[in-house]
Amino acid sequence: MSIHVALHHVTHYRYDRAVELGPQIVRLRPAAHSRTRILSYALKVSPEQHFINWQQDPQGNYLARLVFPKKTEELRIEVDLVAEMAVFNPFDFFLEPYAEKIPFAYAADERKELAPYLETLPLTPKFKAYLDGIDRTPLPAVDFLVALNQRLSEDIGYLIRMEPGVQTPEHTLEHASGSCRDSAWLLVQLLRNLGLAARFVSGYLIQLTADVKSLDGPSGTDVDFTDLHAWCEVYLPGAGWIGLDATSGLFASEGHIPLACSPDPSSAAPISGLVEPCECQFSHEMSVERIWEAPRVTKPYTEEQWLAIQSLGRQIDADLLDGDVRLTMGGEPTFVSIDDPDGAEWNTAALGPDKRRLSAELFQRMRQHYAPKGLVHFGQGKWYPGEQLPRWSLNCYWRRDGVPIWHNAALIADEQQDFGADGELAGRFLASVAERLKIPTRFVFPAYEDNFYYLWREGTLPQNVSAEDSRIEEPLERARLRKVFSQGLDKVIGQVLPLARTVKGDQWQSGRWYLRDEHCRLVPGDSPLGYRLPLGSQPWVKAAEYPFIHPQDPNQDFPALPDTAQLQSQDSAAIAEDRAPKIDESADWLTRTAFCAEAREGRLYLFMPPLERVEDYLELVAAIEATAQELRCPVLLEGYEPPSDPRLSNFRITPDPGVIEVNVQPSATWDELVERTEFLYEEARQTRLTTEKFLIDGRHTGTGGGNHFVLGGATPADSPFLRRPDLLRSLISYWHNHPSLSYLFSGLFIGPTSQAPRVDEARNDALYELEIAFAQMPQPGEECAPWLVDRLLRNLLIDVTGNTHRAEFCIDKLYSPDGATGRLGLLELRAFEMPPHARMSLAQQLLLRALVARFWREPYAPPKLARWGTELHDRFLLPHFIEQDFADVIVDLNAAGYPVRAEWFAAHLEFRFPKVGDYAVSGIALELRQALEPWHVLGEEGAVGGTVRYVDSSLERLQVKLNGLPPQRYLLTCNGIPVPLQPTGRVGEFVAGVRFRAWQPANCLQPTIAVHAPLVFDLLDTWMGRSLGGCQYHVAHPGGRNYDSLPVNANEAESRRMARFFRIGHTPGKIPVPIAQINDELPLTLDLRRF
């Protein structure tokens, strides 16, 4: 995002009397080859009676030659310019093949032209020694120059030197210090002696304060500043002159504005000329000021704006409290790695080598902040078809009443450490826990791998391989065999203690397990021991007598939890049943669940059994911690989580394809939301996790995993959506009638087959059915059965396949009949992409809270929902109309008493619809922005092991916006085809969309249509029959550069985007005036595939 800065520079000479000035040469105008765009420039000279003549020297530098006809007592030169600070990549160049490595030799014609830049000074001792110390082994040109530039910046200390002129290289090396001009001249001479043409550059250096401090390395200046500076440029065939700043050790960037480039420093002085002898007082002033900043995600708000947002958030809180809404808000923000943007685990894979480690680090940061006395549980997450292993879930639980669950954090094992735990310790641990629960220790027994299975598996291997190196194609199976045979088939894997609560729930029970084998043989696999117990080999029991675990209904009333002392006092003896079942006898007395201990990699993992009541779970945890304290053994809990219970709070971190997902505990107030959101973003950043991605072409996106918001109440009975179903109707209706709410905050993948389709994208008749369902909802204040909303809307809030989870408004956990976990009174809003900045996320949550407060007071119930038809994927995919529609939302909220401002969402608009470029000619201004384009899911195709369905993302859409256009005379064309410009209601302002094929995948819709890039936009003068001018947009690098990695940061991403737009390239010559064609279904869109 560009920033416009005003640079002000004053050089003032005051003489002790009126003196005669000779002609003065001023070199303070940015050079023609400056890569930083100069928007305006002014030079003001005092005394006012002077003559000025603009010239150019042999190097093409701009010179102002000043002649003063009268004597003067002062000479004051004032420069004021406005520069566009937009990032460019200083490494974005191609080299001639012979110059790809240094050293190289210039071609004869080049050497002749570069002769002045190859002249060297006589060698001196220190300079020669330094020169001889430079390794001449051929290296890639960029690597060589980076190393030399950085070495010089480290060897030469920077000092401010007021004396005129430039030090000799010998003097600079001898004192190991110098000003910027001294270091630059030293580098020039070094390069020339290495056979490289180099020149001295004087110019302005502008450095702006970074929006975000760097995690590693310097963050740059603490304040915006500018100064005169000097650096070096080296000539590389194919690339031209490349700037090297020996003071910083960096390549010259957008902050380096060249004023004069010369073979010798003397001809690059900012001001030179004669003056008669006199006393002179010299002063020098420089300043830089930001005068315009594009909305950007790294700094979305000024402090004044943020204070206004905070104030409104608290005002809405007061209204929610007055209305007894009882709203809570949680979320599922997602993060990716800063350091490995190309890794499969941060793009497509759910699991990976670093995802667990980074998640655990973030987990510990959050636990220390929110629940230092909470329970750590590293359990099993979701398990999807096609995945060999289930995903993990890092869970933290704490009591809402503030009573600690786990007292000593030192007894929580670190997964990165080896504590020396082994099988013997596992047995002692379970025996100690059994004693605390008054269970006989004889029921503890060891578990082994299934030796018969692995001997059979070894027998099926090819004759010429071993089990340790089986050459099996599947890596998990190969590793499993190697591990089992390496440790031995007779190794004890862990210890098992049968454990459960009695049917009445008032006592612990245990007993012997009766299995067919003499030993407990585990099911083959890689999961924790507790998931591999041979439960199928336990004695038979009638289905009606099986001791199922039934989750408690979250809608019931719960008493206060027992305190720590009550949990630790185990008075009643456990029931110990030791009777073996007879043949055909239903063994309903046996304990069929177990508490397990397994030593893995020197850490003791404890597998928690399933329990129905949270009180029982906490009692077992208390016994575990007491045992860990006694044995001085840190442990990690896994297995079954605590039962879902409103008396506990929790957060969890889980893996998802390409991201990690943090399920944040719900917040009841705005201040809680602010604290938790900002804390999470910052701690994730400190963990080297980020909230954004950059595509290969430099486009800026969220993580891709979304940032779903979950709305509800502290308990299901408190949920505003169960108490007032009309609130849900209001939100659905308002979202539908304002498509900007669906698309402004969404991710790249939108449309019928996306993760969160709108109701009218899923089925053609959905709106008709939805209106019927709305008519059956009770009026505000009327009694309503909690299951009614689910029954009315469950089959309408779906995607095209009928999936109830993949919907814009997901009610899976509102009051689902599937089980207690679905009756939580929660509404999930899924059409939200992960915003890069915490405050952008908070602005979205503020919007949601404002709408809830408004609809609680004034329900929104239009008699009929809008039928957008094809307009939805025509008009509302363009940022102009999304912004226009969102402005109506803001007007509505202001009318309701909530002063939301449009500028609070400027960063969201810029992030979602980044500016591609602009062009102006003859008073007509053209702007290009990214627009939305739905992705199509294609038909099934055969693949190894099944079928696949590809997603076609090869189409893209741009918005074209024109201002100052007289439509009677001028026409805009794209690749020679008229763009169907539509007036916006403002005189001379028009807008349209251009849809085109950006790249050619192997599988796509219309596979015979080729790529349309580059897009050439012409402002066609229909009277003259020629183009006034135009611009070009390239989908890929126009020079043919094929990037093999994703951008490492926002600066590189922005430079890639800028490299694809040019304010040149119109169609030359006479052009026949084409006839405009407008598609009746998509009147605002030019679809280049139709031409």
* Per CATH, domain 1-294 is 3.40.630.10: no
pLDDT of residue 466: 66
Q: What HEC string does 711-723 produce?
A: EECCCHHHCHHHH
- 371 versus 553: which is more confidently predicted? 371
Please tell me whether residue 996 adopts helix, strand or coil conformation. strand
pLDDT of residue 474: 66
Q: Which amino acid is at 954?
A: S
Query: Could you tell me the residue ranges of all domains in the chain?
Result: 1-294, 315-333+706-909, 344-451+493-653, 914-1090
pLDDT tens by residue, 340-350:
988 999 998 99
pLDDT tens by residue, 786-798:
889 999 999 999 9
Spell out the alpha helix ranges (H) of 248-354. 303-322
Instruction: Report the Cα 934 to chain-centroid distance in Å.
Output: 21
Judge whether residue 111 has pLDDT over 90: yes
pLDDT tens by residue, 870-899:
999 999 999 999 999 999 999 999 999 999
CA distances from 863 to 246, 772, 784, 1082 (A): 70, 11, 22, 27
Percent of the chain with pLDDT over 90: 72
Judge whether residue 1016 has pLDDT over 80: yes
**Pairwise CA distance, residues 144 & 5, whole Å:** 34
Strand order in the sheet with 970-974: 977-978, 970-974, 1015-1021, 1026-1033, 1061-1062
Percent of the chain with pLDDT over 70: 98
pLDDT of residue 401: 93
Judge whether residue 1002 has pLDDT over 80: yes
Token look-up 């020996």 returns 246
Tokens representing residue 327 in the block = 């709203």
pLDDT category at 1042 given cuts 50, 70, 90 is: confident
**Pairwise CA distance, residues 9 & 289, whole Å:** 12
Q: List residues bridging with 245 in a β-sheet.
A: 250
pLDDT of residue 468: 62
Over the Cα atoms of the chain, what is R_g?
36
Phi, psi of 367 (to 5 degrees): -65, -45
pLDDT tens by residue, 566-595:
887 766 677 777 788 888 888 888 899 999
Strands (DSSP E) contained in 524-683 are: 575-577, 594-600, 603-608, 635-639, 648-656, 659-667
pLDDT tens by residue, 360-398:
999 999 999 999 999 999 999 888 877 777 899 999 999
Q: Which H or E element spans position 892?
A: helix 879-895
Calculate mean pLDDT across residues 814-823. 84
pLDDT of residue 565: 83
No. of helices (H) and no. of strands (E), the chain = 23, 51
Residue 976 region by backbone torsions, left for phi larger than 0, else alpha for psi between -120 and 50, else beta: left
Judge whether residue 783 has pLDDT over 90: no
pLDDT category at 473 given cuts 50, 70, 90 is: low
Tokens representing residue 185 in the block = 């001249």
Calculate mean pLDDT across residues 319-342. 94
Helix 141-155 vs helix 180-193: crossing angle, to nearest 10: 140
pLDDT category at 680 given cuts 50, 70, 90 is: very high
Calculate mean pLDDT across residues 1039-1055. 84
Task: Name the average pLDDT for the chain.
Answer: 91
pLDDT tens by residue, 242-264:
999 999 999 999 999 999 999 99
If one counts every other C-beta atom within 10 angstroms of the C-beta of residue 47, the result is: 15
pLDDT of residue 72: 93
pLDDT tens by residue, 290-320:
999 888 888 999 999 999 999 999 999 999 9
pLDDT tens by residue, 454-471:
778 776 777 666 666 666
Cβ partners under 8 Å of residue 686, min gap 6? 215, 365
Judge whether residue 526 has pLDDT over 90: no
- 231 versus 1051: which is more confidently predicted? 231
Token look-up 């600079």 returns 172
pLDDT of residue 1043: 85
pLDDT of residue 571: 62
**Pairwise CA distance, residues 301 & 577, whole Å:** 67
Tokens representing residue 51 in the block = 């003559």
**Pairwise CA distance, residues 639 & 680, whole Å:** 26
pLDDT tens by residue, 907-917:
999 999 999 99
If one counts every other C-beta atom within 10 angstroms of the C-beta of residue 136, the result is: 11
